[in-house]
Amino acid sequence: MAKHDLDPNYLDPNYEPVVNHSENTPFHQVLAARMQRRTVMKGTVGAALASVMGLGLAGCGGDSDGDSSTGTTTTNTRNPEDTALGFKAVPVSDANEVVVPEGYSAEAFLPWGTPITGGYPEFRTDASNTGEEQEQQVGMHHDGMHFFPIDLKSGGSSSTEGLLVMNHEYINQKALHPAGATYVNGLRPADEVRKEIAAHGVSIVHIKQDSNGTWDIVMSDYNRRITGGTEMDISGPARGFSKLATPFSTDGTATRGTLNNCSMGPTPWGTYLAAEENWHGYFANSGERTKEQTRHGVGSSSRYDWELADPNGLLDAEYDQYKRFDVTPVEGGSAATDYRNEANTFGYLVEIDPFVPEKKPVKRTALGRFGHEGVIFAPVEEGKPVVCYSGDDSRFEYIYKFVSDQPYYSDTANGSLLDSGTLYVARFNNDGTGEWLPLSLEDANFKAKVDAAVARGVVGGIDFEGFENQADVIVNTRLAADIAGATPMDRPEWGAVDPVSGEVYFTLTNNDERLDSQTNAANPVAGNTTGHIIRWSEAGNDHSAMSFDWDIFVFAGEQGTETVVDDEVIVSLTDDNIFNSPDGLWFDYNGRLWIQTDGSDAAPYENNMMLAANPVTREIKRFFVGPVGCEVTGVVTTPDTKTMFVNIQHPDGYWPNANVERPRDATVIVTRNDGGVIGA
Ligand code: FEO
Ligand code: CA
Ligand code: CA
Ligand code: CA
């Protein structure tokens, strides 16, 4: 979320509260550790850092860097020319338009409200479309996105026709309705709530390029809206668990809707996983909160007041869609009669098959329950487990990895591979190594830590009496990770896996609350307002390994911010590449790394942007700048890397139409005027 947002509720400090009070990795341990990492930050923002890192480095003789943990995490034998950046960097910009390099073009596509299905109801610029109409139109606040070639299932890789699937993270109520959110006698008009729920979720849009190179919507049966109200199945360990039972599904096997879908991940078998990030803000509990609510920040009121929909004139079944957002236990009630457990059916990765419109989305609970920013799969190998990574985007939260029990075979692979496996959480040691800690009651070490926590009776200030079973571990993934001893990070956002080297990259967007006493080698900046990008290589380059070597790829910041490896300045940011708060991250099919920002849009950075990086040389160039007030989030290309789709979320206004004040989130199509490969 950018600070700059028309949504007044965004300023609610409870929106993304710090809820990890577990104090993993205390300062005295950091100081005691010989900081053998040689990747340090210097430059204009490094003053606070120098005291911490300088102390650590003084004790680092450098002799221990010769083994597994040198500055770069793998021996990368590729030719840096393969991922060279051939364009001229664009300057920072505060213009209310998209800026791309010389020789490139950019055009807005699929703005919020574009009709894509059903009766294809036309968008009305006064925002007077109904909830029912919004259910047939592109949602709001475009975010993570993937392009599925239309012939993917038959082994093809079309770059001229496909299914563009995108998330709609949240909404701007002021823009969504003619006069913003309204209340009558303290209640919300029900159709406003219906429209808000419909503006969330996922859009699947069949698109095709004509002979002139113009992309259009194909009116086909693939086109589909999945919203905050769509019926979904629950699979994996938490399926059927008592804490997921609701009046809608008394056996805890189904729920309605996916919310706050930030980033995503395409699976190796051609489906789409939408991440549920800040779902906690949609629920209200005015009574006593459970530990699974407290550890996620569910509060006494909700962000959009959907639970206050006016029931007058609604059928019971209609009202049920809204009242479920009030998760307060009713006196004398139960999970079968009130929605005390509704929030426990959110916080997952949701699998959607874009090629099978009649198939219900499935919440894959084995991948954990937290503020999933997104998910990224490691390259698959026949006969080996499926591995994917997911970050929990909140200050001091963690990075997770899932390893399937069953091996991958391309002929038979499907989503059931994600239903059984082990969920791990990352510990980043100060010497540049790291470990994956299993969150499984079958693991003796984890079980012993859980038992010790039960004996203490408290975890991070939350009363703790143990886990009922593995389903309970999943529902309380954050608490389980606290107990395991994971490293609290500076807000893990998107991950990306280098298709050539196999290295895993994660953006750590910022963490203004990290104190000096809470720094460590992987999160070395106190009051980290600009963020950094971390990367690691799994032991033996095996993604199911239990250990890894990590490195900081780059520190974001102002001109002169340096990333120093083994006393050599590898990156020193200039006018061509200053950036802050890296968020979106994606390797294209040629191995160029794309970095998107969601940060301060004041000088010297100005509007949010997207940069390209050469992962071999760490050369970084600004490629794209968004309009005023937006964040730039979501990027994918066609397989030939000649059409790029980039999402613009929450522009301020007069964009994409400079004559219309009401802003519309939109996808931007970027092409090279000579038809060449983007970025080359
Ligand atoms: Fe939805 Fe973490 O940004
Ligand atoms: Ca963000
Ligand atoms: Ca965001
Ligand atoms: Ca994000």
Return the CATH number at 614: 2.120.10.30
pLDDT at residue 39, rounded to an integer: 63
Distances (CA, A) of 509 to 3, 92, 276, 392, 585: 13, 19, 18, 12, 11
| Residue 175, H or E segment | helix 173-176
Amino acid at 325: F
Whose C-alpha lies nearest to ligand 1, atom 3? 1
What distance in angstroms lies between residue 313's CA and the mean position of ligand 1's atoms? 37
Tokens read off for 298 = 């569910």
What distance in angstroms lies between residue 664's CA and the mean position of ligand 3's atoms? 16
User: Is the C-beta atom of 393 inside 6 A of ligand 1?
Assistant: yes
pLDDT at 36 over 70: no
CB proximity list for 221: less than 8 A, separation 6 or greater:
357
pLDDT at residue 377, rounded to an integer: 98
User: Is the C-beta atom of 52 inside 6 A of ligand 1?
Assistant: no
User: Is the C-beta atom of 133 inside 6 A of ligand 1?
Assistant: no
With beta carbons less than 8 A apart as the criterion, state whether 207 and 217 touch.
Answer: yes
pLDDT at 586 over 80: yes
Whose C-alpha lies nearest to ligand 1, atom 1? 262
Closest by Cα among 267, 212, 640 to 417 = 267
What distance in angstroms lies between residue 464's CA and the mean position of ligand 1's atoms? 29
User: Is the C-beta atom of 562 inside 6 A of ligand 1?
Assistant: no
pLDDT tens, residue by residue, 338-356? 999 999 999 999 999 999 9
Ligand 1 atom nearest 262 alpha carbon: 1
Mean pLDDT to the nearest integer, 621-642: 98
pLDDT tens, residue by residue, 455-466? 999 999 999 999
**23 in any annotated domain:** yes
**76 in any annotated domain:** no
pLDDT at residue 66, rounded to an integer: 32
**This prediction's pTM:** 0.92
**231 in any annotated domain:** yes
What distance in angstroms lies between residue 508's CA and the mean position of ligand 4's atoms? 11
pLDDT at residue 542, rounded to an integer: 98
Distances (CA, A) of 310 to 191, 323, 634: 9, 10, 35
Among the bound ligands, the one closest to the CA of 260: 1
**111 in any annotated domain:** yes
Ligand 1 atom nearest 509 alpha carbon: 2
Tokens read off for 434 = 């790291």
**680 in any annotated domain:** no
User: Is the C-beta atom of 631 inside 6 A of ligand 1?
Assistant: no
Ligand 1 atom nearest 373 alpha carbon: 2
Work out the pLDDT band at 19, boundaries 50, 70, 90.
Answer: confident
* Separation between Cα atoms, residue 584 and residue 632, nearest integer Å: 8
Mean pLDDT to the nearest integer, 625-645: 98
Closest by Cα among 358, 359, 363 to 252 = 363
Q: Is the peptide bond before 656 cis (omega within 30 degrees of 0)?
A: yes
Distances (CA, A) of 565 to 257, 259, 573: 46, 41, 15
Structural Rg of the chain based on CA atoms: 24
Work out the pLDDT band at 26, boundaries 50, 70, 90.
Answer: very low
Mean pLDDT to the nearest integer, 599-611: 96
User: Is the C-beta atom of 435 inside 6 A of ligand 1?
Assistant: no
Tokens read off for 598 = 């969601």
What distance in angstroms lies between residue 322's CA and the mean position of ligand 3's atoms? 25
Task: Look up the domain containing 662 and give its range.
Answer: 2-69+92-672
Say how many Å lie between the first and final Cα of the chain, rounded.
30
DSSP states along 298-326:
-BSS-SS-GGGB--TT--HHHHHHHHTTB
pLDDT at 25 over 80: no
pLDDT at 34 over 50: no
Overall domain count for the chain: 1
pLDDT at 510 over 60: yes
CA dihedral sign of residues 111, 116, 122, 123: negative
What distance in angstroms lies between residue 120's CA and the mean position of ligand 2's atoms? 32
**82 in any annotated domain:** no
With beta carbons less than 8 A apart as the criterion, state whether 470 and 239 touch.
Answer: no
Biggest alpha carbon distance in the chain? 75
User: Is the C-beta atom of 16 inside 6 A of ligand 1?
Assistant: no
Hey, how many other C-beta atoms are within 10 angstroms of the C-beta on 200?
26
**86 in any annotated domain:** no
Average confidence score pLDDT of the chain: 91
What distance in angstroms lies between residue 192's CA and the mean position of ligand 4's atoms? 26
